[in-house]
Chain A
Amino acid sequence: MTIALEPAAQGDRVSLLRVLGPAHVWALGVGIVLVGEFTGWNFSADKGGALAALIVCWVVGLLYTSVAMIDSEVTSTVAAAGGQYAQAKHIVGPLMAFNVALFLVFAYTMLEVSDAILLGDTIVAKAGVEGLTHNSFIAATIVVLAWLNYRGVLMTLNVNFVITAVAYISIVILFFSVSPWTQGAVLKLNELVTPGNALPYGWIGVIAAFQFGIWYYLGIEGTTQAAEEVRSPARSLPYGTMAGMITLLIAAAMTWYVCASMMPWEYLGITYYPLWDAGKLTGSPLLENLLFVATLLAALASANGCINDAARAWFSLGRDRYLPTWFSAVHPRYRTPYRSILFLLPIALAFAFIADLNQAITFSILSGVLQYTFMSINIMMFRRKWPLGSIRRGYTHPFHPIPAIVLFCLCVVTFFAIFLGFGSQLIAMVAFYFLISLWFHFYRYKFVRRGDQFTMPWPKPQGY
């Protein structure tokens, strides 16, 4: 801690601090994701019914388990801020890296915006005061969390650990409060999910449900952004990411079971607050208030982690001159990418005030799925260029190439599902990335110092 408080002297090199452990990695990953249990996943019930929401919980769980396994291997080897951006740069090439960094910044900034809108709307819904708008709560969420991130990564993720843990424990408390071992007392799964209504739109409904099934786990890959700030990346990153994924699989299963057993799928698919509603339906004011507070904490933890991750991806782009180097400044006292944090702050505020929640969520999901598709290709190239034994890996994931193939196939299904619901946004986003790639290739790349960007002390890749 003390080292973070001592300002650097003129002439010193200023870099990010290695102060984090596996618990912080867990807090970053689970913190970003857990809000998806409090809202988001349930819209998959609207697409395909309650059973479809359960099927995508498991199948998308498989997608993210593949993401976590692949990410753990590559990041424990390429331990640099920027996460998947640094991986893409070393394994695929600069153009892919530039795009991946933009996927990251878009995914996290739009998720931060969604979190802030959710928090504001939740408070307004609870208050029930005429004329009260969500704007002040949105502003406070984004500015206070940006300030926290500005002041240092250790405190930021300590806070995230506490609020994520409280939100998680609230799900566990709800689960055990409704006597999950007994049907008929509080839970009525056999009455609410019947053979007649389990899949109201058939199997195409299950495919369509993938679009929102992503919300059960969206953002767990964000753990990699801490790579340059963890004390032992080779150990902490795989451990924190895998522990996070296990935690989320349990939370997702508990959440579905409680909510699907208390609400008909027609309501579950449209409510913004499935867990808070479940708390209300128990009839216990204590549970209702606990789930209200937990919804706010989950949104806060997610926005906090998103600010951390988006800023590091932007910072990495500046450091490699993919963007002006001005963005690569590190605060000499707090050791944070302060200019990137400040640059992204008004952008997040602007989107939060003008965008609608569904649009922000869709842009976040789209950027996320583009990134996962890249990861499946990336790991195949990584194993081919640097086979096992040719470089030191912090973690080696088992069953290669099965996770990569599963990930790629599930990404294709998810793209199809997004196309069914938000086809025009999907096309617009792909067109945007295509145009920005042209700008990077024909204009920006000439400013990049080509030799400086590859920093890993690896041997030449096989075949080169």
Chain B
Amino acid sequence: MWVALSYACWGISIVLALWMLYDWFKVDTTFSEEVLTSSREGELEATSEKHRI
């Protein structure tokens, strides 16, 4: 049973790693670099939690 579990672990790891690589490729070819890297620190603080004393 443990040996079978070990093989199953290898299988799951390979499938999920390939899925992440596929998704990474799909996202990077669908969206522009400007959109993907558009996150800014403090953006939400500035808009949703106005800083007042």
- A396 CB to closest chain B CB, in angstroms? 13
A16, B38: Cα distance in complex, Å? 11
Q: Which residues of A contact B3 (CB under 8 A)?
A: 129, 132
Q: Is the CB of A143 within 8 A of B7?
A: no
The 0/1 profile, CB within 8 Å of B marked 1, for residues 317-330 of chain A is 01110000110111
A267, B8: Cα distance in complex, Å? 35
Q: A8-B35, A80-B41, A328-B39 are in contact. Are A457 and B51 (CB under 8 A)?
A: yes
In the complex, which range does the number of interface residues on chain A fall in? Answer: 35 or more
Q: Is the CB of A14 within 8 A of B42?
A: no
Q: Which residues of A contact B19 (CB under 8 A)?
A: 147
Q: Which residues of A contact B31 (CB under 8 A)?
A: 8, 10, 332
Question: In the complex, how many residue pairs between chain A and chain B have their CB atoms under 8 Å apart?
Answer: 128
Q: Which residues of A contact B20 (CB under 8 A)?
A: 146-147, 150, 342, 345
A392, B52: Cα distance in complex, Å? 7
Which residue of A has the minimal Cβ distance to B42? A455
Q: Is the CB of A325 within 8 A of B9?
A: no
Q: Is the CB of A16 within 8 A of B39?
A: yes
A318, B13: Cα distance in complex, Å? 27
Q: Which residues of A contact B10 (CB under 8 A)?
A: 136, 139-140
The 0/1 profile, CB within 8 Å of B marked 1, for residues 388-427 of chain A is 0111100000000000000000000000000000000000
Q: Which residues of B contact A456 (CB under 8 A)?
A: 42, 45, 51
Q: A127-B2, A342-B20 are in contact. Are A15 and B44 (CB under 8 A)?
A: yes
A342, B17: Cα distance in complex, Å? 9
Number of interface residues of B (CB under 8 A): 37
Interface residues of B in 18-53 (CB under 8 A from A): 19-21, 23-24, 27, 31-33, 35-46, 48-49, 51-53
Q: Is the CB of B9 within 8 A of A139?
A: yes
- A115 CB to closest chain B CB, in angstroms? 15
A136, B38: Cα distance in complex, Å? 37
Q: Is the CB of B41 within 8 A of A86?
A: yes
A184 at the interface (CB under 8 A from B): no
Which residue of B has the minimal Cβ distance to A147? B16
Q: A140-B12, A228-B44, A332-B31 are in contact. Are A392 and B51 (CB under 8 A)?
A: yes
The 0/1 profile, CB within 8 Å of B marked 1, for residues 112-153 of chain A is 000000000001000101001100110110011011001000
Q: Which residues of A contact B27 (CB under 8 A)?
A: 331-333, 338
- B23 CB to closest chain A CB, in angstroms? 8
Which residue of B has the minimal Cβ distance to A142? B13
- A367 CB to closest chain B CB, in angstroms? 23
A82, B35: Cα distance in complex, Å? 21
- B14 CB to closest chain A CB, in angstroms? 8
| 6 A-B contact pairs sorted by A residue (CB < 8 Å) | A15-B43, A80-B42, A146-B20, A319-B37, A329-B37, A389-B53
Closest 7 CB pairs of A and B: A455-B42, A140-B9, A127-B2, A329-B36, A136-B9, A143-B13, A15-B39
Apart from A146-B16, A342-B20, A455-B43, 18 more pairs, CB < 8 Å: A12-B38, A13-B35, A13-B43, A14-B38, A15-B43, A18-B44, A79-B49, A147-B19, A147-B20, A228-B44, A234-B49, A319-B39, A328-B37, A332-B31, A392-B52, A455-B41, A455-B42, A455-B45
Tell me the A residues contacting B by CB distance below 8 Å: 8, 10-16, 18, 79-82, 86, 123, 127, 129, 132-133, 136-137, 139-140, 143-144, 146-147, 150, 228, 233-234, 316, 318-320, 325-326, 328-333, 338-339, 342, 345, 389-392, 455-458
